Amino acid sequence: MMKSKHVHTLSVYVSNKPGVLARIAQTFSRRGYNIESLVVSPAMDGNFSRMTIGVSGSPEGLDQILRQVSKLIDVIRCTDHTYDDVVIKEMGLIKIAVDSGGRGEALQIAEHFGCKTIDLTEESMILQVVGDPEKIDALVEMIEKFTVIELIRTGKVLLARGGTTT
């Protein structure tokens, strides 16, 4: 069973230039924070990128790190959205070993969690799930009765609700 630890969810809006990610990661590393997940994609304007960073570490020092990251030359803004009203989604791909005897149960679990079966062989299947991280945690817990061959998660992506800017 996967245990969730407290992970702060940050969005960082940056110039789309080489080396920006390395400088941001170094800021977290120097303070002893671990980057749990990282998603980077171009923003609507290709000159900028949006990073969604899941980071674990002491909540006491996080404000100072956010200020340090915000001062980096290519960082436009850095925001902790951990307690904000945002939409958070994550995608997971899970490959399980399953033969014809267990396939029906695996498909029922997959259907319950709204998964897509994106690969199916005589010995295995790959499930795709999209949802909040807790949903994916619950699916992983349920599917652990089968042999999980591989599992990968994208990490959180988020957008602020309504007229608020992320």
What is the spatial distance between Cα 136 and Cα 159, in angstroms, rounded to a whole number? 19
Query: 29 burial class (0-12, 13-18, 19+ CB within 10 angstroms)?
Result: exposed
CA distance readout (Å), 118 to 57, 104, 125, 135, 155: 36, 16, 8, 19, 20
If one counts every other C-beta atom within 10 angstroms of the C-beta of residue 78, the result is 22
**Each residue's pLDDT tens digit, 23-56:** 999 999 998 899 999 999 999 989 999 999 999 8
- Tokens 């089968």, located at residue: 146
What is the per-residue pLDDT for 6? 78
Q: What is the pLDDT of residue 103?
A: 95
Q: What is the pLDDT along the chain (166 residues), one digit of tens a residue?
A: 444 567 899 999 999 999 999 999 999 999 889 999 999 999 998 999 999 999 988 878 888 999 999 999 999 999 999 889 999 999 999 999 999 999 999 999 999 999 999 999 999 999 999 999 999 999 999 999 999 999 999 999 999 999 888 8
